[in-house]
């Protein structure tokens, strides 16, 4: 785990090194104290030397205070190193996500990414800090205690060499058995959560079919399962402490037995015996720490892997070596383009040939699932084609620098979102330095100024998370304005006026025709009315271009188009 | 951010009350609680005793030189150790099991409550919010119960036992210890206060960062098309750094407790050794006393450190428990309120009648027909804003009623009033002439089926998902329902057929296939009243045709409410209601409405053009 974390610790290396050093000093000072105590008993009391007692006592207190300062300091820098590492890995993961393609985001899924950036990063911070503390402290404490024990009485210290392996063995056995159970428990927890998630999502179905009782039963089954697994794991893990106590006290008994004999024989001072027992307590503490640490370590190790996965996932959409930095014009050419999403069997786009002139208004129409959205997402390289090529301004999109390409394209996504802030801060997504006049201009073009100007605070009006304080139609107009601020060469509107009423929709179209001269505008729509005036209309059907031409031409030659048109003439286009 | 605001408000409630309520859950396993407490207390006392044995042990060899006395004491000590180990194992096992069982009960109560909450609760609370109570809050509680109950008990008993033993051994030395302990507590208190302060700030900052991540990751695709990556990174980095600073501070104080207490206990150890030496030289105490005392000073600081470490966990758990109780205290939907209930009226599944008590005490049976009337109904999701106003309509048994209007006009809302997902503000809705407020909700909903645009299937086989509509349906009936929904064809083409296991949410099937299964699910319920809300709006044309056939068959002989954009469905309706901003603006059949050249005509022909 730490090898993987190494690059992120680097910035805080100095702390990561200093912290254990100071802690070793703390351990060392703690370890000397019992020896001095033994001296007090064996030399001071035996010789009734008050002066000696005071001198030794003061040294002991000084050592303890020194240890305290070192320990505190060490934990402070340890925390710095731990949370510094967490911040670094968090930033690295977020930066990596920024280069993700849409396919990456789809695969790792937003909720999972969120957990990784929050909970998992937190875990890593905690455990790094703890590692610096416990994982280094415990072994040193043990080694020092052993050395001191050997120094006091080598023969008696032999007991440790029997006891420590015995204890370690017991711990390993328990952990070995408990770990799979804990993993199993985690799975059971996931199962419980999955069922809750499913029921929350389906609550209306549950209620309308009166299935509360059955849903509860389904939950209870998994809940029981979880409880039983948890109890099994716990039955094992509670043995931990008693076993430890058992071994430690057996040690103490042995020490008393053999040590007692030595004291009787006069080969050992009783003070030394007491010190010995103190060391046993210390070794026990160290072991307790180690075992606690191992539990944390396994959890954090999984977290680290999840974060590393985020960082190592590389977008398959990569910049070329010598990227073209400038998009010449807004012409677009699709040459024999085929594409499928990863994991799909069939192609979603099938041998698409299209030529769109710069400055044209293009309408795309077709039923749901005919891959209209997929088609336009090829243009800013949100996905890469599998076959063929897409050219913008005469250059293959794969030869541009991504920033330059996307800078030239204003894209209003189907599920567009605003982010919390103000209207102004949202508009600045299009251009950081944009002036208020330009913003108002864009809002006006997008038919959004009429309601924005109603707000007392105007451009400073609050936007809540996801833009949820606006109606669907208002949100769509704001997102169109945001795209216009980029002053793009190509503007793509993916079904972006579905919630806008007819009149406003018509006004919008007028703007696109009159004011966006020279901008290639691609409009995906459900309603024929939205695109009938386009220079070119493309009819999509099951991933293919069924027909293209003007409204009049298509009425003549495309059956699909005529069907759509007829149904909307006579029928409804309400959705 | 709003969410977090609410949460912290909940946290500010009375912690003692929460703890009391939490302890109340132990009543289900009283024997276990009692046994656990006794055993753990017992073993803690045994430990105190075992440590105390050091005094006679050391004295017997150091002072009296009596090996036999030494052996006798050693045997006593071994006995105490056995008690300690056995007691601790079984005691903590019982307490830990108790924690698991308690969490199990709490989880059960939560799901029962959540499932019984009215639909409006789910409008106002995101799934994530409710999920987080099930995961984080319950997890916190679990940890706290598992570790803290036993630990706190051990700490109290050990502390009390050790102090009494110390007083027995030497009141004077105990004075030294008590004084040092007092100092330690003061320092501890300071550390706890500081760490508490920064801990809270850290929680806030974490919540803020989580909120930011949640929002930005959801908007990640927008970020891409706007080249916003660098700016997003910078603002994230800033917040990550801020969190780092606060976390470091919080943890410094949190982790500091260990070395501070550890080393202060060594100061105490030194003081005891020193003063003990003088007392021993004065003959007041023996060397054995010092040995035992020193062991005690090592032991006594542990409970304090442990309890203070547990406090953070405890506070977090109490905050979680408060959120859990907040859910448990919600008002559930009354499923069995009302004096009218459904009864069987013959052999057939659809031979049903309403048992309606009359004012004079007699009971009138009204046969279930599916006649629905709205009389001047007003409704709003919040009191101050009506979304439906003055809605009056009727549907005679077997009639089809279509709702038409732009998004947000209130079409779906009307259908949600029929099955009483929401309660109306004013007016009346009747089924077969009976006010639906008088009918038990369970019965009301059992005569209706809903097919929604957003299909929800559950984990299980296809057969189980269809049978969801009527649990006692036979296999033949399942197949029959699938056939009538046009779903049989694709199901039988699958390798495992009806036994194909669907993942949660039916992934692995296309949207259209899932919709067909949901139609089969509605069909098998054989409802009197059918509600179809945009059931075909998000599937492609080819599947739509399939679904339409299934739906048409399903609608036969049932009172049906349709929200759709498909002409043929709407056209064949007995009545079309055009909604605009929560009001019915036009009504009639297709030809009437087209002749009116009103809103319906506009919507159809799309003449709402500029020119």
CB contact under 8 A, A223 and B111: yes
Cβ of B248 within 8 Å of Cβ of A84? The answer is yes
Report pLDDT for B6: 38
A194/B504 touch (CB, cutoff 8 Å), yes or no: yes
Partner residues linked to B388 by β-bridges: B379
The DSSP H or E segment spanning B104 is helix B67-116
Per-residue pLDDT band for A263 (boundaries 50, 70, 90) equals confident
Indicate the burial class of A323 (C-beta count within 10 angstroms; 0-12, 13-18, 19 or more). Answer: middle
Mutate to test the interface with A, among B153, B274, B413, B441 (most CBs of A within 10 A): B274
Res A120: pLDDT: 82
Give the C-alpha separation, B295 to A248, whole Å: 13
Of A217-221, A297-301, A569-573, B522-526, where does mean pLDDT reach its minimum? A569-573
**Full-prediction pTM beyond 0.90?**
no
Sign of the CA dihedral running B161, B162, B165, B166 = negative
pLDDT in tens, B342-359: 888 877 778 889 999 988
Judge whether B367 and B431 are in contact, CB under 8 Å.
no
Is any Cβ of chain B less than 8 angstroms from the Cβ of A514? no
Which segments of A40-117 does DSSP mark as H helices, in order?
Answer: 50-98, 102-108, 110-115
Token readout for A334 is 């699709």
Chain B residues whose CB is inside 8 A of the A72 CB are 256, 259-260
With cut-offs at 50, 70 and 90, classify the pLDDT of residue A568: low
What is the tens place of the pLDDT at every residue in A546-563?
A: 889 999 899 888 888 887
Given pLDDT bands bounded at 50, 70 and 90, which one contains residue A344? low
Nearest to A570 among B100, B407, B604 (CB): B604
How distant, in Å, are the alpha carbons of A67, A174, B432 from that of B115?
Answer: 56, 40, 29
pLDDT on residue B540? 55
- Which residues, in sequence order, are bridge partners of residue A409? A490
Contact check, Cβ <8 Å, B541/A367: yes
- The DSSP 8-state label assigned to residue B425 in this structure reads S
Give me the total of CB pairs closer than 8 Å, taking one residue from chain A and one from chain B: 436
Residue with the bigger pLDDT between B27 and B79: it is B79
How confident is the model over A452-475, as a mean pLDDT?
A: 83
* A433 vs B: CB within 8 A: no
Of B577 and B486, more confident: B577
- Measured distance CA(B178)–CA(B18) in Å, rounded: 33
Q: Which residues of A touch B468 (CB under 8 A)?
A: 205, 209, 211
The overall average pLDDT reported for chain A is 84
Q: How far is B471 from chain A (nearest CA, A)?
A: 10
- B389 secondary structure, DSSP code: E
Q: Cβ of B567 and A572 within 8 Å?
A: yes
Question: Would you state the pLDDT for residue B176?
Answer: 87
Q: Is residue A505 scored above 70 in pLDDT?
A: yes
Question: Which positions ≥6 away from A52 have C-beta within 8 Å?
Answer: A39, A40, A43, A44
Asked whether the beta carbons of B222 and A414 are under 8 A apart, the reply is no
Q: Given the DSSP bridges, would you call strands B575-580 and B583-588 parallel, antiparallel or unpaired?
A: antiparallel
| CA atoms of A500 and A125, how far apart (whole Å) | 48
Interface test with A, best of B111, B132, B533 (most A CBs within 10 A): B111
Q: How confident is the model at residue B4 (pLDDT cuts 50, 70, 90)?
A: very low
Give the separation between CA B340 and CA A49, rounded to whole angstroms.
97
Confidence of residue B299 (pLDDT cuts 50, 70, 90): confident
Tally of CB atoms within 10 A around B525: 26
- Residue (of B557, B532, B573, B554) closest to B487 by Cα position: B554
Is the pLDDT higher at A449 or at A102?
A: A449
Cβ-based contacts of A205 with chain B (< 8 Å): 450, 452, 456, 468
What pLDDT band is residue A573 in, cutting at 50, 70 and 90? very low
* pLDDT value for A275: 85
A82 touches chain B (CB under 8 A): yes
Residue B194 predicted with pLDDT over 90: no
Please tell me which of the candidates A86, A211, A569 has its beta carbon nearest to residue B468.
Answer: A211
The neighbour count for residue B216, using CB atoms within 10 Å, is: 25
Top mean pLDDT of B6-10, B498-502, B552-556 is at B498-502
Residues of B in contact with A226 (CB under 8 A): 104
pLDDT band for position B338 (50/70/90)?
A: confident
Does B475 score more than 90 pLDDT?
Answer: yes
Residues A517, A406: contact at Cβ < 8 Å?
no
More confident residue, B394 or A497: B394
Q: For residue A209, give the nearest of B444, B333, B342 by alpha carbon.
A: B444
pLDDT value at position A281? 76
SS3 category, B378: strand
What domains does chain B contain, in order, with CATH numbers?
Answer: 13-169 (1.20.1560.10), 372-605 (3.40.50.300)
Of A374, A377, A396, residue with least CA distance to A327:
A396
A232 half-sphere exposure, CB direction, 13 A CA radius: 15
Distance CA A333, CA A326 (A): 17
Please report the ipTM that was assigned to this predicted complex: 0.78
pLDDT tens column, A196-207: 878 887 888 888
**Contact across the interface for A71 and B270, Cβ inside 8 Å:** no
Higher-pLDDT residue of B30, A290: B30
Are B330 and B117 contacting, i.e. CB atoms less than 8 angstroms apart?
yes
Among residues of chain A, what percentage have pLDDT more than 90? 17
Point out the residue among A54, A113, A575 whose CB comes nearest to the CB of B274.
A54
Q: Is A220 on the interface with B (CB under 8 A)?
A: yes
Amino acid B528: pLDDT: 92
Q: How far apart (Å, rounded) are the C-alpha atoms in residues B79 and B60?
A: 18
A46 touching B, CB under 8 A?
no
Specify the pairing of strand A536-541 against strand A361-365.
parallel
Max CA distance (Å), chain A: 120
Which helix (H) or strand (E) segment holds residue B430: the answer is: strand B426-431
Mean pLDDT of B84-92: 91
**Beta-carbon separation of B220 and A419 below 8 A:** no
Is 50 exceeded by the pLDDT of residue A575? Answer: no
Residue of A144, A204, A572, A573 to mutate for B, most B C-beta atoms under 10 A: A572
Check CB contact under 8 Å for A198 and B274.
no
Structure confidence at residue B605 (pLDDT): 56
For chain B, what is the mean pLDDT?
83
A495 contact B CB<8A:
no
Cα–Cα separations (whole angstroms), residue B445 to A116, B342, B415, B477: 42, 11, 12, 21
Residue A254's contacts (CB-CB under 8 Å, 6 or more residues apart) are A159, A163
Confidence (pLDDT) at B608:
38
Q: Which two tokens stand for residue A423?
A: 């209207």
Contact B111 A216 (CB under 8 A): yes
Query: What's the pLDDT tens digit per position in A100-124?
Result: 877 787 777 776 787 788 778 888 8
């Amino acid at each position: 785990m730490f090898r993987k974390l190494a690059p992120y610790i680097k910035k805080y290396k100095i702390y990561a090194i200093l912290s254990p050093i100071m802690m070793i000093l703390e351990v060392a000072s703690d370890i000397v104290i019992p020896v001095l105590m033994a001296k007090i008993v064996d030399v001071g009391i035996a010789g009734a030397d008050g002066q000696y007692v005071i001198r030794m006592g003061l040294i002991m207190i000084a050592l303890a205070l020194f240890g305290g300062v070192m320990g505190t300091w060490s934990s402070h820098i340890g925390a710095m190193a731990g949370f510094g590492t967490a911040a670094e890995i968090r930033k690295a993961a977020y930066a990596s996500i920024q280069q993700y393609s849409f396919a990456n985001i789809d695969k790792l899924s937003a909720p999972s990414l969120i957990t990784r950036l929050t909970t998992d990063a937190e875990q890593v911070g905690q455990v790094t800090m703890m590692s610096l503390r416990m994982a280094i402290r415990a072994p040193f404490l043990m080694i020092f205690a052993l050395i001191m024990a050997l120094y006091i009485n080598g023969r008696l210290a032999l007991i440790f060499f029997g006891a420590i392996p015995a204890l370690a063995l017991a711990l390993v056995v328990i952990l070995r058995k408990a770990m799979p159970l804990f993993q199993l428990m985690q799975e059971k927890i996931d199962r419980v959560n999955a069922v809750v998630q499913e029921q929350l999502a389906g609550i209306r179905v549950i209620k309308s079919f009166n299935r509360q009782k059955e849903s509860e039963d389904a939950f209870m089954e998994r809940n029981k399962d979880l409880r039983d697994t948890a109890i099994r794991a716990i039955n094992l893990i509670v043995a931990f402490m008693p076993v430890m106590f058992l071994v430690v006290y057996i040690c103490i008994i042995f020490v008393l037995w053999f040590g007692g004999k030595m004291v009787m024989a006069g080969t050992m001072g009783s003070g030394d015996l007491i010190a010995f027992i103190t060391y046993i307590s210390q070794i026990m503490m160290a072991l307790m720490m180690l075992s606690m640490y191992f539990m944390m370590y396994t959890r954090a190790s999984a977290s680290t892997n999840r974060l590393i996965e985020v960082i190592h996932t590389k977008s398959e959409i990569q910049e070329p070596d010598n990227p073209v930095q400038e998009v010449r014009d807004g012409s677009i050419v699709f040459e024999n383009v085929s594409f499928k999403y990863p994991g799909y069997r069939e192609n979603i786009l099938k041998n698409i040939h299209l030529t769109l002139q710069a400055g044209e208004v293009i309408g795309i129409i077709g039923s749901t699932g005919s891959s209209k959205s997929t088609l336009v997402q090829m243009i800013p390289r949100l996905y890469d084609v599998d076959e063929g090529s897409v050219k913008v301004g005469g250059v293959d999109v794969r030869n541009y620098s991504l920033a330059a390409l996307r800078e030239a394209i204003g894209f209003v996504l189907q599920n567009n979102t605003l982010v919390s802030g103000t209207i102004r801060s949202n508009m600045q997504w299009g251009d950081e330095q944009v002036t208020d006049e330009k913003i108002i201009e864009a809002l006006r073009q997008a038919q959004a100024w009429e309601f924005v100007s109603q707000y007392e605070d105007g451009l400073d009006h609050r936007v809540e998370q996801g833009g949820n304080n606006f109606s669907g139609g208002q949100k769509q107009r704001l997102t169109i304005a945001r795209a216009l601020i980029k002053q793009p060469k190509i503007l793509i509107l993916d079904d972006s006026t579905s919630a806008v009423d007819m009149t406003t929709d018509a006004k919008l179209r007028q703007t696109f025709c009159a004011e966006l001269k020279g901008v290639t505008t691609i409009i995906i729509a459900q309603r024929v009315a939205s695109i009938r005036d386009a220079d070119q209309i493309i009819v999509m059907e099951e991933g293919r271009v069924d027909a293209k031409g003007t409204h009049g031409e298509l009425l003549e030659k495309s059956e699909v188009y005529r069907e759509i048109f007829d149904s909307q003439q006579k029928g409804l286009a309400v959705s | 951010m709003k969410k977090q605001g609410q949460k912290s408000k909940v946290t500010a409630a009375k912690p003692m009350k929460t703890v009391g309520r939490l302890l109340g859950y132990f009543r289900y396993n009283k024997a276990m609680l009692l046994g656990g407490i006794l055993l753990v207390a017992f073993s803690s006392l045994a430990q105190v005793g075992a440590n105390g044995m050091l005094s006679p042990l050391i004295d017997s060899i150091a002072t009296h030189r009596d090996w036999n006395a030494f052996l006798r004491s050693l045997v006593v000590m071994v006995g105490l150790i056995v008690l300690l180990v056995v007691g601790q194992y079984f005691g903590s096992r019982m307490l830990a099991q108790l924690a698991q069982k308690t969490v199990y009960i709490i989880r059960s109560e939560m799901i029962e409550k959540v499932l019984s909450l009215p639909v409006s609760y789910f409008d106002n609370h995101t799934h994530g919010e409710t999920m987080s109570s099930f995961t984080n809050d319950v997890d916190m509680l679990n940890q706290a119960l598992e570790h803290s109950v036993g630990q706190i008990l051990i700490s109290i008993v050990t502390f009390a036992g050790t102090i009494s033993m110390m007083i027995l051994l030497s009141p004077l030395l105990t004075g030294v210890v008590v004084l040092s302990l007092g100092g330690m507590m003061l320092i501890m208190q300071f550390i706890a206060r500081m760490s508490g302060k920064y801990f809270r700030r850290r929680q806030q900052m974490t919540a803020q960062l989580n909120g930011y991540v949640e929002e930005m990751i959801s908007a990640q695709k927008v970020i891409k098309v706007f080249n916003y990556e660098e700016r997003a990174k910078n603002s994230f980095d800033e917040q990550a750094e801020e969190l780092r600073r606060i976390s470091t501070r919080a943890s410094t104080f949190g982790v500091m407790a260990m070395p501070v207490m550890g080393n202060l206990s060594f100061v105490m150890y030194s003081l005891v050794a020193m003063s003990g030496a003088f007392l021993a030289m004065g003959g007041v105490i023996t060397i054995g006393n010092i040995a035992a005392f020193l062991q005690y000073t090592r032991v006594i600081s542990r409970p304090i450190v442990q309890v203070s470490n547990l406090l953070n966990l405890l506070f977090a758990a109490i905050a979680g428990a408060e959120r859990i109780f907040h859910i448990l205290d919600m008002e559930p939907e009354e499923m069995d309120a009302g004096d009218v209930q459904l009864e069987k009226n013959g052999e057939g599944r659809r031979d049903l009648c309403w048992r309606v008590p009359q004012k004079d005490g007699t009971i009138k049976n009204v046969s279930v027909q599916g006649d629905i009337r709205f009389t001047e109904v007003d409704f709003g999701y919040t009191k101050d804003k009506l979304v439906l106003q003055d809605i009056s309509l009727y549907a005679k048994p077997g009639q089809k009623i279509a709702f038409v209007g732009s998004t947000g006009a209130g079409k779906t809302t009307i259908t949600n009033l029929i099955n009483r997902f929401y309660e109306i503000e004013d007016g009346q809705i009747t089924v077969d002439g009976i006010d639906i407020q008088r009918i038990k909700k369970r019965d009301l909903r059992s005569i209706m089926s809903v097919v929604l645009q957003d299909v929800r299937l559950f984990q299980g086989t296809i057969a189980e998902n269809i049978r969801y509509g009527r649990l006692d349906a036979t296999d033949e009936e399942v197949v029959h329902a699938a056939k009538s929904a046009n779903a049989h064809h694709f199901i039988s083409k699958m390798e495992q057929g009806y036994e194909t296991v669907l993942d949660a949410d039916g992934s692995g099937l296309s949207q259209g296939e899932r919709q067909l299964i949901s139609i089969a699910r509605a069909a098998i319920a054989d409802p009197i009243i059918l509600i179809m809300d945009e059931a075909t709006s998000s599937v492609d044309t080819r599947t739509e045709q399939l679904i339409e056939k299934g739906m048409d068959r399903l609608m036969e002989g049932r009172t049906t409410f349709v929200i759709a954009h498909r002409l043929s469905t709407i056209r064949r309706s007995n009545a079309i209601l055009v909604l605009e901003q929560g009001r019915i603006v036009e009504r009639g059949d297709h030809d009437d409405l087209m002749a009116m050249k009103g809103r319906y005509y506009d919507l159809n022909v799309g003449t709402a053009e500029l020119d």
